[in-house]
């Protein structure tokens, strides 16, 4: 069964450093989501792509976070500079389409900022 892939699985960095996370959605899935999950809470959407276009980045802290999906397939989420409060699990999800379709999650990247 196809799954969403993410790397790295774990990342430890110092504050003010730059970090990047990669996501490869299920083949053929046009919609890609990045969520942030703080320990003990539910995931919160950071950014949503439809193909290569951003359709929702209202919750993305744009002063330090950026996301791209250049060819409409895999995606990269970057944080620069990282802050202590960015420590969380970063989850990528994909769906076949954006209209009320099942979202499949990747294993996540656990970020620790020291």
Partner 1 sequence: GENVEQHPSTLSVQEGDSAVIKCTYSDSASNYFPWYKQELGKRPQLIIDIRSNVGEKKDQRIAVTLNKTAKHFSLHITETQPEDSAVYFCAASMTGGGNKLTFGTGTQLKVEL
Q: Which residues bind partner 1 (CB under 8 A)?
A: 4, 31, 33, 40-45, 48, 50, 55-56, 91, 95, 98-108
Nearer to partner 1, 31 or 75 (CB): 31
CA distance 106 to 88: 15
CA distance 103 to 93: 6
The least distance separating partner 1 from the CB of residue 31, rounded to whole angstroms, comes to: 7
Among all chains, which residue has been given the structure tokens 């944080």? 79
Nearer to partner 1, 19 or 23 (CB): 23
The least distance separating partner 1 from the CB of residue 18, rounded to whole angstroms, comes to: 25
Distances (CA, A) of 42 to 6, 35, 39, 61, 97: 19, 9, 8, 18, 22
The least distance separating partner 1 from the CB of residue 16, rounded to whole angstroms, comes to: 28
């Amino acid at each position: 069964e196809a799954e969403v892939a993410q790397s790295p699985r774990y990342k430890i960095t110092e504050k003010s450093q730059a970090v990047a996370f990669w996501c490869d959605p299920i083949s053929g899935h046009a919609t890609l989501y990045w969520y942030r999950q703080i320990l003990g809470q539910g995931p919160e959407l950071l950014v949503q792509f439809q193909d290569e276009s951003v359709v929702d980045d209202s919750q993305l802290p744009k002063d330090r976070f950026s996301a791209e999906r250049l060819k409409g397939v895999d995606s990269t989420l970057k944080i620069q500079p990282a802050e202590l409060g960015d420590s969380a699990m970063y989850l990528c999800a994909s769906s076949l389409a954006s209209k009320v379709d099942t979202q499949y999650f990747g294993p996540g990247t656990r970020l620790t900022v020291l």
